Structure 1
Amino acid sequence: MRYRQAPYSPDGEIAAMLDALRGEVRNGTGGSGGLSSERDELTLVLNGDIFDLDAPRVIDNESVVHDLPRTAEHAVPAMEAILRDHPIFVAAVGRVVADGHTVVFVAGNHDIQLTLPEVRDAVKRRIVDAALLALSAQGSDPPDRSVDELGDELGDELGDELGDELRAALEARVVFRAWFHRTKDGVIVEHGNQYDSYCSYRYPMAPFGRKPGEIQPTMGSLVSRLLVSRMGYFNPHVDSSFMLSGFGYLAHWARYYLFSGRSLVLAFAVGALRTMIELVRRRDPCRRALRRAGLHAAARETGAPLPAVAKHARLFARPAEDCLGRVARELWLDRLGLALVGILAALACLCWMPEGLAAAALLAPTLLVAYECAVPKPTLDAVWQGVNRAARLVARAHGAKAVIFGHTHNPEGSWEDGVFFGNTGSWSAAFEDIACTKPVFEARPLVWLRSEDGAAPEEPLSGGLVMWKDERFQPWRADATPSVPRKAEMAKRPRPALRPQATAALRS
């Protein structure tokens, strides 16, 4: 679990990138820091899954798996702990806000709790405190005082009323979006999980189930908590390490468990069954009133026209709870059930039809082979391709100049008929080897788009997919595409609490 330790965290790279980004904006106009508006305006969009609230908690330096209810009661302490453990990240985002720019947090499937007002307040409070700290330090050495002491000092210098106005101005620059963000110049930024059945929510603006205030778990969230984080040498950041074929799982077991005295069978069986049971137990049919309320809430939050929001919502993939056969297929429950039926049928043949011994012995494997051929399992690539296709339809719904997703972790960027389609990739602390010496992502991707202030609506944007490498921004290159290992080479390790994906939209 080295990757969960500070030396392997991406915090330092994020901070360096954000400081360089601030410098690029400042140098572009010769402006100064502070809340002045006489310079370029930057909107930094953190495009979902920035915080991993599905990850095991760290208690007394031990990783403890859990499946706590997704409520504010449990989410707020978890978020506060994450923010405390990542002060470099928090300080860097605070400096962006202190410079007068806007930071937008878009909720993803791993940090869907960002839709809860209590969680938003916790994040906003910590970012604003960091911004106040940055403002107090401008033009001097970094202070060694606490945020509370600095707040008292600023209050003494400015007066309580001015101090409150300053905090209110900073708070206005920390924005949250439950579903998607829409800029004035026609950019749609969305995490993209709504087009993946395993991770979609029926009502993304209010993703609750039957219990008020408790977020409905998706299959992806349940699998992360009940399976992947409890099962051995899988790397939750590299899909190919745990999305294996039947022979792949057997080879994985033989490599890591055959002579270890440990087994995955019980963890897998219990986790898969619990996942299915939870999806069935919490199944919540669509309610038109809630759907309509969500559309109106999205239009209010983003400023997008209601008809465009309604077209957008029609593109959602059906939640996994509506596709239980597909869930059973993904969790191998269908094949296990079919194997059990074949074995029972073979035993019945042996007991009552002794002359059918040969046929009985072949019954179970024959049924499995026939089923595998008749009902092929959807590949992960097919799911990701569906997400990418949805981006084109989202652009049509809004008449957007750009649509940016991040869910698939695959950095992409292309211009099609004057419209940009991109994916922000991932900044996760992912490594191909147990020693954490071979990073999966050799370059850090982000999307940086620019538009001119006062430009005509039909005027195109500029920019696109870039990478942060060697402490500077560079054009994205094909050879910078992350390499994905074909075999599971990672020690048991849950997702880190911080999984940043960044999109910068520059408006000048």
Structure 2
Amino acid sequence: MRALIISDLHLGNGGDYDVFAGEQELPALLDRFASPPTRVMVNGDGIDFLMNEDELALDVPRAVAQARSCAESRATKAVFAAFGRVLAAGGEVVIRLGNHDVELALPEVQEVFRSTLGQPPAVAARLWFQLGQVPDILDVGGARILLTHGEHNDPWNIVHYQGLSTAGAAERPSFAYAPGSILVKRYLNPLTREFGLRFVSLLKPDFQGGALTALAVAPAAMKLLFQRSSADLLWQLFRKMSGPAAFPADEEEQNLGLADRVAEAGLTLEEQEAVEALLGDRAVAFHDEEDDGALGRARLKLGRAGLKLYAKLQRKLTGKAGDTYFELEPNEAEWNEAKRLAAKFGASAVILGHTHAARWKHEDGLLFANTGTWIWLMQLPPSDAGDDVWAEFLAEVKQNPRLAAERQKVARLISRFTAVSIEEAPGGGADVALVEWDRASGIRTLGEARVPATS
């Protein structure tokens, strides 16, 4: 049976937090692969259980209610109906957990989504759920292909699977959410819900980039948000840079990594003092004229630095309006992690997700691919653009924080729908390809390679 691997769909409940972009495209791709029978594998973050205002705790009734809300939304319903058609054609669907959908470990939640498939119980039973505590090793024509979401190597988002269990509620141990999940709930969601800064949800999984960009676009929102929390914004932004190397345990636990990112922005002392005054205890009215002078220069640097953090994940999101260019070559850290996993588990191919950045490299007997994402992405100015270009971009984000389509000019939303296909090769081994899907033009191959059978 051939396989189609997708990841990072982030299917939601149709509300303000939704970032899924493939309502029409993903069902069309799944229908294309339904026959002959295909094993569809969702490699983490298929559902996003963080896109709500509920308390962050693994509670069965709450998780079931969240699952039903997602399952009833138009886009999620369309995708699961397409999953159902894959199953009805004799295929399988395997959903592996990521850091945004740990609730899928609960049998009660799994049944909600099986009921959404629109298929008889015997057919729906071929929808499987897998925890991600260990990689899945696919044997295709004798080739060993490693599959894992990729959050295992991300300290902010690593999932502690020892707290998850498919056992009944009475036997289920307590579960501690990853720091990244807490940050989404505590900071990113309120920025979207209360202040309309939709763009911060699109900058995930880079929290620091989203926070710095939000500070540049809406400092009043950031100031109010941090006043409500246990973290102190000034400490996060500046005090750690000039303070002692060690901090008390309670402060260290609150470190969100913002100070290091602000340092990378290269603020002068005058610009730093301007931002400190803006975020201090004094009452401040935030008007456009405040962007003059040192404060204006500081906000430009912070916004540019924050968006560049996001751009590092996607490598490049630049070009003329409507055009996109994505560099598929992995960076050194990504390639080294692929080599480490391949050596540890005896695999000849490694397939990840999590970063939302499609990747492809085949070298020295190792194939590495990242399946990318099916959410909206932001098109950024060229990395070498001047301050005037970046200032225009940030001004538009400030004027159009919800990124309404009719108001997009330079701050545009774009998408690139990618997946990995695997088929047994004639004579043994596996033919693997990174493909891009567009309903108008169909499937385009971005990279392909043959992975030999393991001796």
Q: TM-score range by the shorter chain?
A: 0.5 to 0.7
Pairing 1:71–2:26 present: no
Matched residue, 2:296: none
- Secondary structure of the corresponding residue to residue 97 of structure 1: helix
Pairing 1:330–2:295 present: no
Pairing 1:83–2:79 present: no
Pairing 1:173–2:126 present: yes
Pairing 1:42–2:9 present: no
Q: Which one-letter code corresponds to 2:67 in the other structure?
A: M
Over 3 Å counting, the alpha-carbon distance change for 1:425 and 1:115 in structure 2 is same
Q: Which one-letter code corresponds to 2:186 in the other structure?
A: L
How far did 1:409 drift?
A: 0.4
How far did 1:188 drift?
A: 1.8
1:491-506 aligned within 5 A: none
How far did 1:426 drift?
A: 0.6
Matched residue, 1:187: 145
- Secondary structure of the corresponding residue to residue 437 of structure 2: strand
How many residue pairs end up in the alignment?
319
Over 3 Å counting, the alpha-carbon distance change for 1:330 and 1:272 in structure 2 is farther
How far did 1:181 drift?
A: 2.7
Over 3 Å counting, the alpha-carbon distance change for 1:6 and 1:112 in structure 2 is closer
Matched residue, 1:229: 189
Matched residue, 1:500: none
Q: What per-residue deviation string (whole Å, max 9, x for no partner) do you get for residues 325-344 of structure 1?
A: 48515155999xxxxxxx9x
Tell me, which stretches of 5 or more residues in structure 2 are unaligned?
1-12, 234-248, 263-272, 274-308, 315-330, 380-399
Matched residue, 1:369: none
Over 3 Å counting, the alpha-carbon distance change for 1:442 and 1:430 in structure 2 is closer
1:15-54 aligned within 5 A: 15-22=27-34, 25-26=35-36, 41-54=37-50
How far did 1:206 drift?
A: 2.7
Over 3 Å counting, the alpha-carbon distance change for 1:387 and 1:172 in structure 2 is farther
**Contact 1:466/1:474 (<8 A) preserved:** yes
Q: Which one-letter code corresponds to 1:49 in the other structure?
A: D
Q: Which one-letter code corresponds to 1:88 in the other structure?
A: A
- Secondary structure of the corresponding residue to residue 200 of structure 2: coil
Q: Which one-letter code corresponds to 2:201 in the other structure?
A: P
How far did 1:264 drift?
A: 2.4
Q: What per-residue deviation string (whole Å, max 9, x for no partner) do you get for residues 309-328 of structure 1?
A: xxxxxxxxxxxxx9984851
Aligned-partner Cα distance in 2 for 1:443–1:91: 22
Pairing 1:14–2:26 present: yes
Q: Which one-letter code corresponds to 2:77 in the other structure?
A: P
Matched residue, 2:225: 267
Over 3 Å counting, the alpha-carbon distance change for 1:201 and 1:246 in structure 2 is closer
Over 3 Å counting, the alpha-carbon distance change for 1:236 and 1:7 in structure 2 is closer
1:250-289 aligned within 5 A: 251-253=216-218, 263-271=221-229, 273=231
Over 3 Å counting, the alpha-carbon distance change for 1:323 and 1:396 in structure 2 is farther
Over 3 Å counting, the alpha-carbon distance change for 1:102 and 1:2 in structure 2 is closer
Quick one: higher RCO (CA 8 Å, sep 6+), 1 or 2? 1
Tell me, which stretches of 5 or more residues in structure 1 are unaligned?
27-40, 57-64, 133-166, 276-321, 336-342, 344-378, 478-504
- Secondary structure of the corresponding residue to residue 103 of structure 1: strand
**Contact 1:207/1:215 (<8 A) preserved:** no
Q: What per-residue deviation string (whole Å, max 9, x for no partner) do you get for residues 286-306 of structure 1?
A: xxxxxxxxxxxxxxxxxxxxx
Over 3 Å counting, the alpha-carbon distance change for 1:20 and 1:72 in structure 2 is same
How far did 1:239 drift?
A: 4.6
How far did 1:387 drift?
A: 5.2
Residue 220 of structure 1 is aligned with which of 180, 190, 208? 180
Pairing 1:55–2:55 present: no
Q: What per-residue deviation string (whole Å, max 9, x for no partner) do you get for residues 190-236 of structure 1?
A: 1111110000123368379xx94543111110000010111232421
Over 3 Å counting, the alpha-carbon distance change for 1:247 and 1:93 in structure 2 is closer
1:381-460 aligned within 5 A: 381=312, 386=333, 388-430=335-377, 434-436=403-405, 440-452=413-425, 456=428, 459=429
Q: Which one-letter code corresponds to 1:393 in the other structure?
A: R
- Secondary structure of the corresponding residue to residue 354 of structure 2: coil
Aligned-partner Cα distance in 1 for 2:371–2:333: 17
TM-score if structure 2 supplies the norm length? 0.60
How far did 1:83 drift?
A: 0.9
Over 3 Å counting, the alpha-carbon distance change for 1:247 and 1:199 in structure 2 is closer
How far did 1:442 drift?
A: 3.8
Q: Which one-letter code corresponds to 1:472 in the other structure?
A: G
Q: Which one-letter code corresponds to 1:391 in the other structure?
A: A
Q: Which one-letter code corresponds to 1:266 in the other structure?
A: L
Residue 468 of structure 1 is aligned with which of 427, 437, 440? 437
Q: What per-residue deviation string (whole Å, max 9, x for no partner) do you get for residues 454-485 of structure 1?
A: x54xx3x21321100225100228xxxxxxxx
1:287-302 aligned within 5 A: none
**Contact 2:339/2:366 (<8 A) preserved:** no
Q: What per-residue deviation string (whole Å, max 9, x for no partner) do you get for residues 125-155 of structure 1?
A: 332xx234xxxxxxxxxxxxxxxxxxxxxxx
Q: Which one-letter code corresponds to 1:51 in the other structure?
A: I
Q: What per-residue deviation string (whole Å, max 9, x for no partner) do you get for residues 349-369 of structure 1?
A: xxxxxxxxxxxxxxxxxxxxx
Pairing 1:117–2:107 present: yes
Matched residue, 2:328: none
Matched residue, 1:199: 157
Aligned-partner Cα distance in 2 for 1:115–1:2: 22
How far did 1:48 drift?
A: 1.1
Over 3 Å counting, the alpha-carbon distance change for 1:388 and 1:226 in structure 2 is farther
Q: What per-residue deviation string (whole Å, max 9, x for no partner) do you get for residues 4-32 of structure 1?
A: 5999852211111111222xx44xxxxxx
TM-score if structure 1 supplies the norm length? 0.54
**Contact 1:431/1:440 (<8 A) preserved:** yes
Identity of aligned residues (%): 22
Matched residue, 1:96: 86
Matched residue, 1:131: 119
